[in-house]
Amino acid sequence: MPWARVHPEEPHTHQFQVWLPYDAELLTDTGTLHAEGTGTSLFPQSWAAGGPGLAFTEVTVGAPGLEWTARDVREAVAGFVALLPDRTG
């Protein structure tokens, strides 16, 4: 997702931020919808406004997340993003 940002760009620990160009409330609601539909809470924290149309959340990778493969992460993120309004046009 070229419009997404992770901070720091290469996380040095199991905690980092994800920034997306959407309203914080929309992202929080989308995270809840995604968790209800999949049973996986990819972004369990609320999203905070980082500016107009920009929001971020803190991500902590716990022990269960260490069992995920890169494919698992890609699929979970794709499922979350599929619930968001299109940002390509």
Q: What is the identity of the amino acid at 21?
A: P
The domains of the chain are located at 5-82
Mean pLDDT score, 61-80: 90
pLDDT in tens, 36-70: 999 988 888 889 998 898 999 999 998 888 899 99
Whether the predicted pLDDT of 88 surpasses 70? no
Strand partners, 57: 18
Compute CA distances 21 → 39, 63, 87, whole Å: 25, 29, 9
Q: Which fold has domain 5-82?
A: Aspartate Aminotransferase, domain 1 (3.90.1150)
Q: What is the DSSP letter of 45?
A: S
What pTM did the predictor assign?
0.83
Rounded mean pLDDT of the chain?
89
Determine contact, residues 81/34, Cβ cutoff 8 Å: no
Backbone angles phi, psi at 7, to 5 degrees: -130, 125
- CA atoms of 22 and 56, how far apart (whole Å): 9
